[in-house]
Amino acid sequence: MKKIRIRRDIPKYQKFLYSALFVLIILSLWIAVTTVRKPLSRIDIDDFERAIVGNLYDEQDILLINESYYKNSSGDQYLLKKNLSPRQHIEIREVISYTGFKYEEERIPNPVLSQNVLPHPVDILRSFPSLIRGTNDSSEKFQWRKSLIYAIWISLRRELTAFFFVVLFALPLGVLMSCFKAFRSFMNPALIVGTFIPIAALIPLTMAFFGIGEQQKIIFLVLSMFFVLLGLVIKEIDEVDDILLSTGYTLGFSQVKTIVLIVVPSALSRIWKHFAAVFGLGWGYIIFAEMINSGGGDSINGLGWLFIARQRRFKVDEMYAIFFVIILFAFIFSYLFKLGHYLIFKHDRGQRNGK
């Protein structure tokens, strides 16, 4: 009999190893494409014919070089053909390196993938000290209101405030819409509009109503998460078994008591699992929320503004550093929500373990 492997669970150490393997592969590819150099796009005719082709003895290597370069119109240089794959770039460079031809690495770094597109991981790590200090001058002291730590605090405060209001309104409204069909039909148009409205459209709309201050940023984050969580709450309440409702009515519970003591507790464990995804969605929208610096000047106004400011100054390595900070906090809170679920909903532990 064949072993069933679909949805088959694996030990925790294997989960960790597979995740680590994926990260290692991505990191290795990243280092490769930002470290390996492309062959020069322009080579003088004397260097090409004497220093390179003249020192090659393998016919395949000579053929590769001749097929990869062509003379320019003036005939004084050889130009690298376009649309060559990264693999071909690496092969050409290796062949040229056999000849002893020296590249001017410092003057023409020429990586396979430009540093302006994807910086080297080491360059990203080197950008953190200046971001944390709040200044690129190492002789200057730590500047709290210009530092990465201050930006994290501002964004985290906004995210937590917005998420609090999202849960405060989405949870009871979702329960009412699921339990009372008339109210659901009445609110359904708002749910449809809120679910399908493009998130980018909320930026000018919230700015028009609330300006560019703190209130606008909080409301933008609330709207970006509210309708997502509302739909999920309705879904989970809808899936509460009717048998539980019948049991409550048999015991003489009123409708309010049935909702409070049976419906909500039955679905709350599943609703909690959606909190992490919705909270992470808010972290993804933090850049949109903080695009406008309401503080003015060089004062930091959150991770989103810091990211946009570095983009405008074309500091790509610092952009990636801020990007990974946002991802890091999304992961941290994802695990915090999982830990909270484990501690609060103890009755789910046995079901998860198949007991």
Q: What is the pLDDT of residue 25?
A: 94
Q: Please tell me the least confidently modeled range out of 86-95, 126-135, 190-199, 216-225.
A: 86-95
> Does residue 137 or residue 52 have the better pLDDT?
52
Q: Is the pLDDT of residue 154 over 70?
A: yes
Residue found by looking up tokens 């708002």 in the block: 190
Element (H, E) at 42: strand 42-44
What is the arithmetic mean of pLDDT over 57-71?
Answer: 88
Distance CA 197, CA 176 (A): 23
CA 105 to chain centre: 33
Q: What is the pLDDT of residues 173-191, one digit of tens each?
A: 999 999 898 999 999 999 9
Lowest mean pLDDT among 27-36, 175-184, 212-221, 281-290: 27-36
Cβ proximity of 251 and 257 under 8 Å: no
The pair of structure tokens assigned to 250 is 């048999």
How does pLDDT run across 28-63, given as a tens digit for each residue? 888 877 776 667 788 888 888 888 888 888 888 888
Cα separation, 168 vs 308, in Å, equals 31
41 φ/ψ angles, rounded to the nearest 5 degrees: -80, -20
**What is the per-residue pLDDT for 2?**
63
pLDDT, average across residues 300-315: 83
Closest CA to 79 of 63, 62, 90, 65: 65
CATH 1.10.3720.10, the chain: domain bounds: 145-352
Residue 108's pLDDT is: 45
* C-alpha to C-alpha distance for 218 and 29, rounded to whole angstroms: 39
Q: Which of 57-71, 103-117, 130-144 has the highest mean pLDDT?
A: 57-71
Give 82-87's long-range contacts (Cβ < 8 A, gap of 24+). Answer: 86/33, 86/112, 86/113
Does the domain at 145-352 match CATH 1.10.3720.10? Answer given as: yes
Question: Residue 1's pLDDT is what?
Answer: 55
Report DSSP state, residue 251.
T
The answer to whether residue 203 scores a pLDDT higher than 70 is yes
Question: If pLDDT is split at 50, 70 and 90, which confidence band does 289 have?
Answer: confident
Strand order in the sheet with 42-44: 42-44, 77-80, 69-71
Alpha-carbon span 129 to 138, nearest angstrom: 9
Give the pLDDT mean for 128-156: 84
- In this predicted structure, the answer to whether residue 170 has a pLDDT above a threshold of 90 is yes
User: Quick one: average pLDDT of 325-338?
Assistant: 89
pLDDT of 336 over the 60 cut: yes
Residue 225 carries which side chain, given as an amino acid letter? M
- pTM comes to 0.75
Instruction: For residue 22, name the pLDDT band (cuts at 50, 70, 90).
Output: very high
pLDDT at 355: 45
| Alpha carbon distance, N-terminus to C-terminus of the chain | 26
**Predicted local distance difference test score (pLDDT) of residue 103:** 54
Among residues 281, 285, 267, 245, the alpha carbon closest in space to that of 172 is found at 267
